[in-house]
Amino acid sequence: MKVPSLSGNEQVFSDLVRRQLKAMHIRSHRDGIGNIFADISGKDKFAPKLLLNAHLDTVSPGENIKPRIRYGMITSDGKTILGADNKAGVAVIMEVLNMLRKEKIPHGDIQLIFTVQEETGLRGARLIKKGMLHADIGYVLDGGDVDTLYNRAPTQYNLTAEVIGRAAHAGIHPEEGINAIKVASEAIAKMRLGRIDQETTANIGIIKGGIATNIIPEKVEIKGEARSHNIRKLKAQIKNMRRQLAKACSRNRANLKMSIDCMYNAFSLDREDRVVGIAARALGALGIKPKIKRTGGGSDANIFNELGIKTLIVGVGADRVHTRNERIAVDDLFCGAKLLLNIIRENSARKNHKK
């Protein structure tokens, strides 16, 4: 946790992970953006090949982290995030790999991928090509509660807009200006934001503009997003956001530049899919009744599913992520490792072997 690994600056933490892999006699390599790849051979050549993934990066504030354990809970000192999202996933994978080696636990082949820049739009995973993957099924250790399996995730569109008004002196000739911030505010006020329905959300997260209090702001930049499990609803939501911006600019004689980008596509796994069944039975072996749910967030699982590898999101206990109150229970961290170990064992069960 103490090693900083903000998105785009994962090098030091990545080096640490690779040193630990080397100590376990696991050879690894990095691609151009910094994703770590490793192939681990197993003696069970009939078992489906597993893809295991966690991401190396964290959000801000993620430097000078001072982790502590109190009453069975790991937290930061409250001045930073903890980084359990997703270093807990990295730690669980590394621990289980070590157990497989030391205790000579039978298993099938494993493809290991630690990605970078997940928190900034899955940038690391989005550069992975289909030919770089050779697993049959996958597990992304980037969920929350250990008893929850996430089999569905939404599509996300990002919106970037620039409202262009006209500068003027705010005290002498304000009527000659067109206030770009005011125009943008009018549009945002009329947008449908937050929880739209059970499948759809939208947010304006960044607004930047202005130079000084005595200048009518000429330009303002807006960045937002919309997500939905239903592509029709998602397109309708984005259309509403674009329409409100266009109307506000037209009313105020401002100009508008806008772009919409698809960050990742939705995935949906059936409860009967092998990848879900293996994880559900692995939880059952721990005496835990699995909860199978959809998530409103995106992860590297979206990319792997799009590339043809049925991939499920499983939890390792990270809680209150992306905040200074982030935490993880020691017991949940251990439980996450037991779950992954059970997944690997269950995957080698004869009923899951490839025909």
Which residues carry out catalysis?
57, 118
> d(Cα 193, Cα 196) in Å, to the nearest integer?
7
Q: Could you tell me the two tokens for 122?
A: 């899955």
Report which residue type is found at 242.
R
Between CA 11 and CA 1 the distance in angstroms is: 14
Task: Look up tokens 């298993």; give the residue.
Answer: 107
Distance CA 277, CA 272 (A): 6
> Under 8 Å CB-to-CB from 184, ≥6 apart: which residues?
161, 163, 207, 209, 220, 222, 245, 248
Find all residues with CB under 8 Å of 334, minimum gap 6, and list them: none
State the number of CA atoms in the 13 A half-sphere of 286 facing the CB.
24
Query: How far is Cα 172 from Cα 95, in angstroms, rounded to an integer?
Result: 67
* First-to-final CA distance of the chain: 42
